[in-house]
A = this chain, B = another copy of it.
């Protein structure tokens, strides 16, 4: 039942298969049997690593959240200016949404499906969302101090606004198939920031 992963190949296969299935079909529709088949592993093995489907969900959510955070951390290490850091994050998002291996956001997928039925999973989604939104909000508040001191807009809520644009765009992507619209949306958001902070 040890779920801490130090390159355990079976566990990794299980997690990867589960992530893929849940990203495309959602948490409920992804069955444990299906995940095991995709991972080339039996059900007994699954329950050796996870005590329930919900626990798999937690681990998956945590892993996805950490990876995403890492990604954005990597993108803007070394950038001191908060506004530049935000622009860098937007640019990173624009680039990654156009790559074909962009399968969507597990946190958004889960949030939609299980918020009423699995409070613990919802809580993890909420924390991930809040972490991202408040992080961006902090940078944007600091940037306001630097570049738009007297202006009347609420910088802190821009983080959640940005997150909404991302999640909404990804939702629309599911019916459209392509990520082109998402790139346009992110550009609109960037343009909004420019109008607030000056160019």
Interface positions of A (Cβ within 8 A of B): 24-26, 28-29, 108-109, 111-113, 115-117, 122, 125-126, 129, 153-154, 157-158, 160-161, 163-169, 171-172, 174-176, 181-182, 184-185, 188, 191-192, 195-196
Interface of A is mostly: helix
What is the count of identical protomers in the complex? 2
- Structural contact, B185 and A115, CB atoms closer than 8 A: no
Given contacts A122-B175, A185-B161, contact A112 B109 (CB under 8 A): yes
Chain B contacts for A109, CB-based, 8 A = 112
Give the distance to chain B from A120, nearest Cβ to Cβ, in Å. 12
**In-complex Cβ contact of A26 among B28, B161, B167 (8 A):** B28
Chain B contacts for A122, CB-based, 8 A = 174-175
**In-complex Cβ contact of A188 among B166, B171, B192 (8 A):** B192
- Structural contact, B28 and A175, CB atoms closer than 8 A: no
- Structural contact, A117 and B175, CB atoms closer than 8 A: no
- Structural contact, A129 and B175, CB atoms closer than 8 A: yes
A25, A115, A171, A195: most-surrounded residue (chain B CB, <10 A) = A171
- Structural contact, A174 and B112, CB atoms closer than 8 A: yes
**In-complex Cβ contact of A175 among B26, B111, B161, B185 (8 A):** B111
Chain B contacts for A26, CB-based, 8 A = 26, 28, 112-113
Chain B contacts for A196, CB-based, 8 A = 195
**In-complex Cβ contact of A172 among B24, B28, B153, B163 (8 A):** B163
**CB pairs A–B below 8 angstroms (11 shown):** A24-B116, A112-B171, A122-B175, A126-B175, A153-B191, A154-B184, A157-B184, A160-B185, A163-B172, A164-B164, A165-B165
